[in-house]
């Protein structure tokens, strides 16, 4: 009996060549899977191409809402920015796609799964770890990495077999989903050269953005956005809408020197209009609601969370444990944040919450204040005690020397 392989199929060159290779060189049946998490490509066209290349079956799985609710929302609660910059779109998408591959493989009785990652990036780590953790019996093949295919060889192969694959001339490597767009390679490999306007699709160039600022009011409940400008929206529509509005103002361009899991530094350019607005607003709202102790500890947890997700360990129990802590902090994270968008810039200009810890009577400089200033004197004596002790000791030592 021919072996069956379940392949994550994007419709692009690498995975199209792989479909044919598996049949021709390895004598395997190929089942293709395309998981929609907002790549905006034509899913029917992809399905047809898979069939034309000889896939015995194709799955088109719509996981857009699942991606928003189970992957992006936890990232919002975690204010997730890898190395303080990257909102992790690709990193969040991979474990979801991997879990669908495993599901299909189990359903179809296949013992091999395959994906199009190279051997130089993070995606191979994310796919492989998730697949191995969910089903250790599955064998994994990443054709580009494992067969060491080069682009030229692939193009040669496409021509020789007259495969129905469009060979795009794009010099950039692009990955996009609902949460954002990542662009790498080509001229971007020189970290000093400014990205050409052609790389941007979601964000307007600054000389084309509106000359008037625009306000955006984001409403959160349980730490996640539920409404924009007073209008309730489902998670997917809300993210799409904010992407559009903020993109019009040129917001969300991130140009980042990034440390990959495999040790390489790479220059990454991102477009994340909605993520930039939503995370900024969410962070601000938390500052109104959480105690300083919660905030300080949460920021450590957030960094660890982002690192685990970036480095492919979505399925690790530590990520799940940190998630439980983060979720617990979100129970009162409810309220509204007003953002002002203008010429690529974003400002929080107002925030309110029924669970605010801001107390006007304590904070005001007016005479009505209930804060007893005299209490500060004793507080400062004790607060500064260790520092004062250390300073007077070192003065003594300087004067007397050590005996
Ligand atoms: N550097 C990002 C990450 O590792 C994005 C990678 C996107 N992939 C691409 N082919 N452009 O998550």
Which domains are assigned to the chain? 4-169 (3.40.50.620), 177-290+333-352 (3.90.1260.10), 360-400 (1.20.5)
Is the shortest distance between the CB of 91 and ligand 1 below 6 Å? yes
Which atom of ligand 1 is closest in space to residue 172's alpha carbon?
11
- Any catalytic annotation for residue 394? no
**What is the structure's pLDDT at 399?**
86
Expressed in angstroms and rounded, the spacing between residue 175 Cα and the centre of ligand 1 is 6
Distance CA 35, CA 61 (A): 5
Query: Could you tell me if residue 2 is left (phi over 0), alpha (psi between -120 and 50 degrees) or otherwise beta?
Result: beta
pLDDT band of 151, cuts 50, 70, 90: confident
Give the residue-averaged pLDDT of 112-131.
Answer: 97
Token pair recorded at residue 228: 């924009």
- The yes-or-no answer on residue 175 being catalytic is no
Give the position, in ligand 1's atom list, of the atom nearest the Cα of 91.
Answer: 12
**How does strand 29-36 pair with strand 57-62?**
parallel
pLDDT-based confidence at residue 120 (cuts at 50, 70, 90) = very high
Does 40 have pLDDT greater than 70? yes
| Statement: residue 402 has pLDDT above 80 | no
Q: In this model, does residue 366 exceed pLDDT 90?
A: no
Task: Please tell me the predicted confidence (pLDDT) of residue 169.
Answer: 75
Tell me the pLDDT tens digit for each residue of 63-88.
999 999 999 999 999 999 999 999 99
Instruction: State yes or no: pLDDT of 264 exceeds 70.
Output: yes
Q: Nearest C-alpha to atom 2 of ligand 1 is from which residue?
A: 90
Cα separation, 57 vs 295, whole angstroms:
50
For the cut 80, the answer to whether the pLDDT of residue 368 exceeds it is yes
Q: Is the pLDDT of residue 403 over 80?
A: no
Q: What kind and span of H or E run contains 145?
A: helix 143-146
Q: Is the separation of the CB atoms in 261 and 125 below 8 Å?
A: yes
- Give the number of C-alpha atoms closer than 13 A to the C-alpha of residue 370, restricted to the C-beta side: 4
Hey, is 133 helix, strand or coil?
Answer: helix
Query: What spacing in Å lies between the alpha carbon of 226 and ligand 1's midpoint?
Result: 28
Q: Which two tokens stand for residue 386?
A: 């260790």
pLDDT per residue as tens digits for the range 225-254: 999 999 999 999 999 999 999 999 999 999
Answer yes or no: is pLDDT of 262 > 80: yes
Answer yes or no: is the C-beta of 124 below 6 A from any ligand 1 atom: no
Q: Active site residue: 10, 14, 126, 182, which one? A: 14
Averaged pLDDT of the chain: 96
What is the reported pLDDT for 108? 98
Q: Which of 75, 86, 90, 96 to mutate to test the pocket of ligand 1 (most atoms within 8 A of CB)?
A: 90
- Mean pLDDT along residues 376-398: 95
Give distance in angstroms: CA of 68 to centre of ligand 1.
19
As a whole number of Å, the CA-based R_g of the chain is: 26
Whether the predicted model's global pTM rises above the 0.85 cut: yes
Which residues are CB-neighbours of 119 under 8 A, at least 6 positions away? 142, 144, 145
Q: Give residue-wise pLDDT tens across range 10-34.
A: 999 999 999 999 999 899 999 999 9
Please tell me the residue having the least CA distance from ligand 1 atom 1: 268
To the query of whether residue 94 is one of the catalytic residues in this protein, the response is yes
182 Cβ closer than 6 Å to some ligand 1 atom: yes
- Name the nearest CA neighbour of 241 among 221, 269, 217: 217
Average pLDDT, integer, range 93-105: 98
356 included as an active-site residue: no
Model pLDDT for residues 165-219, shown as the tens digit of each residue: 888 778 899 999 999 999 999 999 999 999 999 999 999 999 999 999 999 999 9
Give the per-residue pLDDT at 149: 86
- Residues with Cβ within 8 Å of residue 27, at least 6 apart in sequence: 2, 3
């Amino acid at each position: 009996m021919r072996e069956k392989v379940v392949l994550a199929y994007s419709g692009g060159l690498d995975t199209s060549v792989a479909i044919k290779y598996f049949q021709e060189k390895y004598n395997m049946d190929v089942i293709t899977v395309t998981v929609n998490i907002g790549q905006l490509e034509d899913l029917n066209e992809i399905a047809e191409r898979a069939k034309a290349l000889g896939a015995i079956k194709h799955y088109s799985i719509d996981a857009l809402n699942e991606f928003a609710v189970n992957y992006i929302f936890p990232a919002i609660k975690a204010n997730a920015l890898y190395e303080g910059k990257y909102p992790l779109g690709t990193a969040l998408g991979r474990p979801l796609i991997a879990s669908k591959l495993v599901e299909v493989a189990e359903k179809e009785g296949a013992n091999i799964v395959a994906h199009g990652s190279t051997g130089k990036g993070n995606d191979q780590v994310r796919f492989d770890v998730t697949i191995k953790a969910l089903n250790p019996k599955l064998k994994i093949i990443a054709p580009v990495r494992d067969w060491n295919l080069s682009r030229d060889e692939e193009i040669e192969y496409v021509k020789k077999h007259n495969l129905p694959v469009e060979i795009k001339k794009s010099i950039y490597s692009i990955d996009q989903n609902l949460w954002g767009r990542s662009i790498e390679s080509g001229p971007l490999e020189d970290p000093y050269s400014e990205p050409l306007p052609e790389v941007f699709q979601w964000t307007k160039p600054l000389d084309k953005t509106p000359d008037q600022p625009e306000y955006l009011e984001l409403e959160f409940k349980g730490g996640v956005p539920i409404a924009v400008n007073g209008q309730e929206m489902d998670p997917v529509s809300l993210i799409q809408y904010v992407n559009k509005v903020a993109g019009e103002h040129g917001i969300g361009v991130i140009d980042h020197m990034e440390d990959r899991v495999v040790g390489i530094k790479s220059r990454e350019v991102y477009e994340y209009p909605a993520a930039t607005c939503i995370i900024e607003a969410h962070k601000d709202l938390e500052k109104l609601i959480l105690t300083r102790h919660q905030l300080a500890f949460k920021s450590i947890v957030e960094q660890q969370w982002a690192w685990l997700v970036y480095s492919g360990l979505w399925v690790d129990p530590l990520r799940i444990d940190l998630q439980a802590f983060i979720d617990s902090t979100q129970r009162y994270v409810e309220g509204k944040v007003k953002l002002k968008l203008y010429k690529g810039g974003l400002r929080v200009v107002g925030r309110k919450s029924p669970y605010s810890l801001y107390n006007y009577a304590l904070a005001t400089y007016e005479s009505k204040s209930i804060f007893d200033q005299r209490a500060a004197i004793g507080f400062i004596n004790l607060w500064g005690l260790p520092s004062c002790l250390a300073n007077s000791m070192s003065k003594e030592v300087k004067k007397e020397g050590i005996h």
